Amino acid sequence: MDAETVLGMGKYAVHVWGAYGLCFIVFAGLLTSAVCKLHKLGKDVKK
């Protein structure tokens, strides 16, 4: 498998990487916000 297939995705590069990038941002954001919220509330309740 050459680098062009992996990174280039031919003429659909923007669409494919856009879809995967968006999914990554959304799921990473949801996970990070859930962990941070849980951490902060955990500290508040323990006080």
Partner 1 sequence: MNLSYFANPAHFEKLAKVVLPLLSTLCIILLPVGLVDALIISPPDYQQGDAVRIMYVHVPSAWLSMAIYAACGIAAIIGIVWKHTLAELFLRAALPVGAAATALCLITGMLWGKPMWGTWWVWDARLTSVLVLMFIYIATIALLDAFDRPEQGGQAAAWMTVIGLVNLPIIKYSVEWWNTLHQPSSLSSLKRMMNPAMAGDMLRPLLVMTVGLTCLAAIIVILRLKAEMLARKKAVKGI
Q: Does 3 bind partner 1 (CB under 8 A)?
A: no
Is residue 2 part of the contact set for partner 1 (CB under 8 A)?
Answer: no
Is 44 an interacting residue with respect to partner 1 (CB under 8 A)? yes
CA distance 8 to 17: 9
For residues 36 and 7, what is the distance between their CA atoms, to the nearest angstrom?
Answer: 33
Cα gap 38→30, rounded to integer Å? 12
Q: For binding to partner 1 (CB under 8 A), which residues are involved?
A: 1, 5-6, 9-13, 15-16, 18-20, 22-23, 26-27, 30-31, 34-35, 37-38, 41-42, 44-45, 47
